[in-house]
Structure 1
Amino acid sequence: MTSDFDAAQLVTQIQAWGQELALSQIGVAGIDLSAAEPGLSAWLAAGFHGEMDYMARHGMKRARPAELVPGTVSVITARLDYLPQDTPEGWQAIELQRLQRPGEAIVSLYARGRDYHKVLRHRLQKLAERIEAAIGPLGHRVFTDSAPVLEAELAQRSGQGWRGKHTLVLNREGGSMFFLGEIYVDIALPPSEPVTDHCGACTACIDVCPTQAILGPQRLDARRCISYLTIEHAGPIPEDLRPLIGNRIYGCDDCQLICPWNKFAQRSPLADFDPREGLTGVTLVELFAWSEEEFLRRTEGSPIRRIGHQRWLRNIAVAMGNALRQGDDAGIRTALTARAEHPDALVREHVGWALMRYRESPLP
C-alpha cells in the first residue's frame, strides 16, 4: 500500500520532476476511454491500419488501460520535444526544399538521431522511481509507442494538446514535433484539463499530403501514408504510390512541415536527437551503397534499424526511380544496376522498377 499523499500536490511535484528530466510537459488522464471505442472500431473495420495487424489483434484493449495493465487507475502522460538543438530558423522551409532535390535522400526528422523509444522510456522510468520514492510502492508500467495504448487520445485528454486534422497532437507552445509516452499507475490522480482545438478552417496538412492519405479531419488511411509505406509495410510498395513517395526514404514530415503551429516547435535540450552523420543532406547513391554490415553499424541505437537492410534498399530504390524520372543520372543508374541481381526478391523487384523509370520519357 502507498502512504497517504495529497494527490493534487503530487501531480505538481511530478510535473517539476518531469522538467528536471527534460520532459516538455506532464499531464494526467483518467482511464475511461470508452468514447474513443466507436472511432477505433470503425477505423479498424475500414482496414485503414493496413498490415499493422497488432492493432486489430489488441482490439479494444487499446482503449481500456485497466485491461492492458490490471490495477491501473490513472495515466501520467508526457511529451518530449525532438527538434535538434541546432535547428535553424526557417527549418520548415529548409526541409521542404529538400523535396526539390531528387538525388538527396530524406529521412524523417524524428529518426535522424537516437531511438526515441530508449530516450523517453528511460526518463519515464526515472520519473516513476521518483514517485515511488516519495509515496511508497507504486504499481506502474511505462510505455512509449510500444504497446496497445491510445497515445494521442490520452495526450489530448490530459491537456498535452488537441488532435490536428492529420491525427497528430498539436500544442500551442510546441507544435507537433514531440514524442509521447505514458506511465500507467495504480493511484488516483486528478486529471489535467484538456485544451480546445485551434486548427480552425485550416486544411494545409490534408492538402499537402502527397498520397492523399488524410481523407478528412482526423481520418487517416495508413495504407497510403508514406511513413507507413516506408517503415511499417513489409512487402512491395504499391506501384501507383511509388511515384508519390519522391525522395523520402524513411518516413514523411510533409503534414508537419506545412502546419502553421510548428513555427512554435521547440528545440530539444538533449543531444540524443542531434542528427547522425550520414542521415542529413546525403545522396541516395551514398546510402544505397551501404552493405548490410554498414547499415547495422550506422543505425545502431537508431529507430531506422528496425526496418532492416532489405527494406532500406527497397525504399531507396523507389526514390532513385523517381529521381531518374526527373532526369537521367549516370551515378544512380550505375548504383541500381549493381544491385539488379540482389539475392532478395523484394530488392530486385524495386530496383527493376527504378531502372524502368529511366527508360520512360522524363517528366516535362
Structure 2
Amino acid sequence: MIGKEKYTKMIKDEAKRLGFMSCGISKAGFLEEEAPRLEKWLKNNRNGEMQYMENHFDKRLDPRLLVDDSKSVVSLLLNYYPEEQQVGDSFKISKYAYGQDYHHVIKTKLRQLQEFISEEIGEVGGRAFVDSAPVMDKAWAAKSGLGWIGKHSNLLTQKVGSFYFIAELIIDLELEYDHAVTDHCGTCTACIDSCPTQAIVDPHIVDGSKCISYFTIELKNEIPAAFQGKFDDWAFGCDVCQDVCPWNRFSKPHKEPLFNPNPDLLSMTKKDWKEITEDVFRKVFQKSPVKRTKFSGLQRNIKFLDD
C-alpha cells in the first residue's frame, strides 16, 4: 500500500511541475455506463461524416484492449484559456486554436512524465494519448474526479470551468484511485439555449453533425445551406456553449507560452479574413490547429459566413 501511495503522489507532483492543471487516476477497466450511450449516439448518426468514431468500439470502452496489462488511467488537464482574446469586427476561431497545436505541446509533456516514471519508479509499460486514439478522455477525467460532464458534454470543474485540454497516460502500474465528483449544473440550461445551431439536442447529448466545430473543421464537403446565417461569425470551431457557462467565470489565463496567439491573429478584421492569402495563412497559423482545415477549408468557411 505504501508503494501505491508513494508512486501516486510522485506522479501527481511531477504532473504539476510539468504545468498540468490537475491530475486524477482511475482503475483501468470497462466503461460500463458509457457503452450504451456511445452505441445509441452512433446509431442516431450523431457523428455525421466522422466515420472514425465508429471504429474500435470495444477499444474505446476498455483501455486494457489498447495497452496490454494496463492497470491505471492517469488523466491530466492542461489550461488553454487565453489572457487576450479576439475582439471587435472579426471572424472568430476557438480559443484552443490560438497558439501552437496542443497535440505536440502535450505529447512533449507526457513523454517527460513517462521518462520521470521510468527513472523514479522503474520499468512501467504504457502509452500516452492526446485526443488521437480511441480513448474516451472526458469519461476517464470524470471518473478520475477531475470534474463532471456538463450538459454541453464538456468536462466542467467548479474552480476553473472548462477551457482545458484532456490527456491520458495508460500504464501497467497499480496506483491509488480517485473518485468521481458530483454534478453541479443544476437546472442551468445556458449552453443548450445559446447553441447557434441547436446542436445540444438534450442535456449531455450533442449532435455532432449539427455542431459549428464539425462544420468548420471535420466536414469536407460544402456546409449545408440550411445553416446559413447561424454561425455567429465562427470561422474555425465554436466556443459559445463554453462562453455562456457560468462556471467559466472562474477561468484563469494559462501560463504556457506556446499557447500564446500570433499577434497578427488578434488584430485581424473581417476584411483581413476575407482577403487572407495562402502566405498569410501559413505565417499566422504556422503551427496552429487551424492548419487542420487547410487554406481551402478556411476560405470555404469565410465565404459561408460572408454570403
Is structure 2 residue 22 aligned with structure 1 residue 15? no
User: Which of residues 14, 17, 22 is equivalent to 1:25?
Assistant: 22
Query: Would you say the 8 A contact 1:105–1:281 is kept in 2?
Result: no
TM-score (norm 2): 0.95
1:107 deviates by 1.0
Query: Would you say the 8 A contact 2:265–2:284 is kept in 1?
Result: no
Bigger shift: 242-251 or 280-289?
A: 280-289
Superposed CA offset, 1:151-192 (max 9, x none): 100000001100000000001111001100000101111211
Q: How does 1:209-288 map to 2 (within 5 A)?
A: 209-288=195-274
1:111 equivalent in structure 2: 97
Bigger shift: 10-19 or 163-172?
A: 10-19
**What secondary structure, in the 3-state scheme, does the structure 2 residue paired with 1:12 have?**
helix
1:349 equivalent in structure 2: none
- Percent identity over paired residues: 37
Identify unmatched segments of 5+ residues in structure 1.
322-364
CA distance in 2, matches of 1:300, 1:138: 36
Is structure 2 residue 197 aligned with structure 1 residue 199? no
CA distance in 2, matches of 1:246, 1:258: 14
Query: Would you say the 8 A contact 1:166–1:214 is kept in 2?
Result: yes
**What secondary structure, in the 3-state scheme, does the structure 1 residue paired with 2:25 have?**
strand
CA distance in 1, matches of 2:306, 2:22: 40
User: Which of residues 175, 180, 183 is equivalent to 1:189?
Assistant: 175
1:317 deviates by 0.7
Q: How does 1:78-89 map to 2 (within 5 A)?
A: 78-84=76-82, 86-87=83-84
CA distance in 2, matches of 1:191, 1:149: 18
Matched positions, count:
306
User: Which of residues 68, 71, 76 is equivalent to 1:70?
Assistant: 68
CA distance in 1, matches of 2:48, 2:113: 35
Is structure 2 residue 117 aligned with structure 1 residue 134? no
2:53 equivalent in structure 1: 55
- Considering Cα pairs closer than 8 Å and 6+ residues apart, tell me whether 1 or 2 has the greater RCO: 2
Query: Would you say the 8 A contact 1:211–1:244 is kept in 2?
Result: yes
1:361 equivalent in structure 2: none
1:9 deviates by 1.6
Superposed CA offset, 1:82-108 (max 9, x none): 112x34xxx7xxx7xx5xx6x521111
CA distance in 2, matches of 1:301, 1:214: 31
CA distance in 1, matches of 2:12, 2:277: 45
CA distance in 2, matches of 1:189, 1:34: 21
Letter matched to residue 243 of structure 1: G
Letter matched to residue 50 of structure 1: G
1:221 deviates by 0.1
Superposed CA offset, 1:109-137 (max 9, x none): 11111111111111111111101111111
Superposed CA offset, 1:18-59 (max 9, x none): 111010001101222122111111111110011111110222
CA distance in 1, matches of 2:218, 2:25: 30
**What secondary structure, in the 3-state scheme, does the structure 2 residue paired with 1:280 have?**
helix
CA distance in 2, matches of 1:246, 1:270: 29
Superposed CA offset, 1:242-278 (max 9, x none): 2101311011111111000001112111111212123
User: Which of residues 163, 171, 174 is equivalent to 1:177?
Assistant: 163
TM-score (norm 1): 0.81
Computed over aligned residues only, the root mean square deviation of the Cα atoms, in angstroms, reads 1.6
Identify unmatched segments of 5+ residues in structure 2.
none
Superposed CA offset, 1:212-250 (max 9, x none): 000111010011100111011111101111210131101
Letter matched to residue 124 of structure 1: L
1:356 equivalent in structure 2: none
**What secondary structure, in the 3-state scheme, does the structure 2 residue paired with 1:7 have?**
helix
CA distance in 2, matches of 1:186, 1:296: 41
